């Protein structure tokens, strides 16, 4: 198993939204890595090897030959990637690590995935793997965005919902104007909304990914208000 840092070519760079880009990093010939859906890679540009940043895989473990990461224009690395990284450039990649893993085994669990903004990226991997492998796992995403223009992977998640009756994708918008058209939910994620989606508490695992603020608030709701056990909560804090 290769655990070494390798230079990868950016095979494609796709704007998902005006401020969000997916990079597909092509594995070099003979690259052999063991990794899991939900893990993150750490990357840096060849001209600044000391400036490294972590990105969750937005692809899944069934996607081989490349890694995909989806990056928001925020901070130095986020801005450099979104505004400047192009197909044909290269980046160094430290192989995937991390424990923010979907529990697919034993089957029959309900994974309740809570995300804000770009924090939805690892959940694309969860939903892709469960759908392609026809797993007996329920996955629900509760996704908070500012407006309907900020929903990353909207089309793919809607398609996955069609393909997989065990997958559901719900969005709440926090900053719509009263007269904006939107039939979905408005307002922040709260205990009531989370509770609505927990049908069998003992069987549920709650995941929260994104800013420290969102993850800590969710943790508080789930552990203190909904009284789920600590082992039923998995978090990935981005800072």
Ligand X SMILES: Cc1cc2nc3c(=O)[nH]c(=O)nc-3n(C[C@H](O)[C@H](O)[C@H](O)COP(=O)(O)OP(=O)(O)OC[C@H]3O[C@@H](n4cnc5c(N)ncnc54)[C@H](O)[C@@H]3O)c2cc1C
Count CB atoms within 10 A of the CB of residue 200: 10
As a whole number of angstroms, the distance between CA 236 and CA 152 comes to 18
Sign of CA dihedral 103, 109, 112, 117: positive
Of 8, 19, 27, 40, the one binding ligand X by CB under 6 A: 40
Stretch that binds ligand X, among 47-55, 157-165, 166-174, 212-220 (CB under 6 A): 47-55
141 binds ligand X (CB under 6 A): no
| 101 touches 39 (CB < 8 A) | yes
Q: Which of 25, 60, 61, 69 binds ligand X (CB under 6 A)?
A: 69
Q: Which of 22, 37, 59, 118 binds ligand X (CB under 6 A)?
A: 118
Among 76, 99, 146, 220, binds ligand X (CB under 6 A): 76
> 226 burial class (0-12, 13-18, 19+ CB within 10 angstroms)?
middle
From the list 28-36, 76-84, 144-152, 212-220, the region that binds ligand X by CB under 6 A is 76-84
Member of 5, 6, 33, 54 binding ligand X (CB under 6 A): 54
By the rule CB under 6 A, 75 interacts with ligand X: yes
119-138 footprint of ligand X as x/- string (CB under 6 A) = --x-----------------
Separation in Å, CA 213 to CA 166, 208, 209:
29, 11, 10
17: β partners: 20
Asked if 102 and 129 count as a contact pair (C-beta separation under 8 A), the reply is yes
Does 27 contact ligand X by CB under 6 A? no
Question: What residue ranges bind ligand X (CB under 6 A)?
Answer: 40, 53-56, 69-72, 74-78, 118, 121, 236, 238-239
């Amino acid at each position: 198993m290769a655990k070494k840092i390798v230079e990868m070519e950016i095979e494609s760079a796709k704007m998902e939204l005006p401020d969000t880009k997916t990079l597909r990093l092509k594995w070099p010939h003979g690259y052999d890595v063991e990794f899991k859906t939900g893990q993150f890679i750490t990357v840096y540009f060849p001209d600044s090897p000391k400036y490294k940043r972590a990105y969750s895989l937005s692809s899944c473990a069934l996607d081989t030959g490349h890694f995909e990461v989806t990056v928001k224009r925020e901070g130095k690395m986020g801005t450099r990637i979104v505004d400047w990284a192009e197909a044909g450039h290269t980046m160094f990649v430290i192989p995937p690590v991390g424990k923010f893993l979907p529990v697919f085994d034993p089957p029959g669990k309900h994974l309740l995935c809570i995300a804000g903004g770009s924090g939805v990226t690892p959940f694309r991997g969860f939903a892709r793997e469960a759908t392609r492998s026809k797993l007996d796992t329920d996955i629900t995403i509760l996704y908070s965005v500012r407006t309907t223009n900020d929903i990353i992977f909207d089309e793919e998640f809607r398609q996955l919902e069609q393909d997989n009756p065990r997958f559901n994708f719900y969005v709440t918008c926090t900053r719509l104007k009263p007269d904006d058209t939107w039939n979905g939910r408005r307002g922040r994620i709260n205990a009531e909304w989370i509770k609505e989606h927990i049908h069998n508490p003992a069987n549920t695992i709650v995941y929260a990914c994104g800013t420290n603020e969102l993850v800590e608030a969710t943790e508080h709701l789930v552990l203190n208000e909904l009284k789920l056990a600590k082992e039923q909560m998995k978090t990935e804090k981005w800072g």
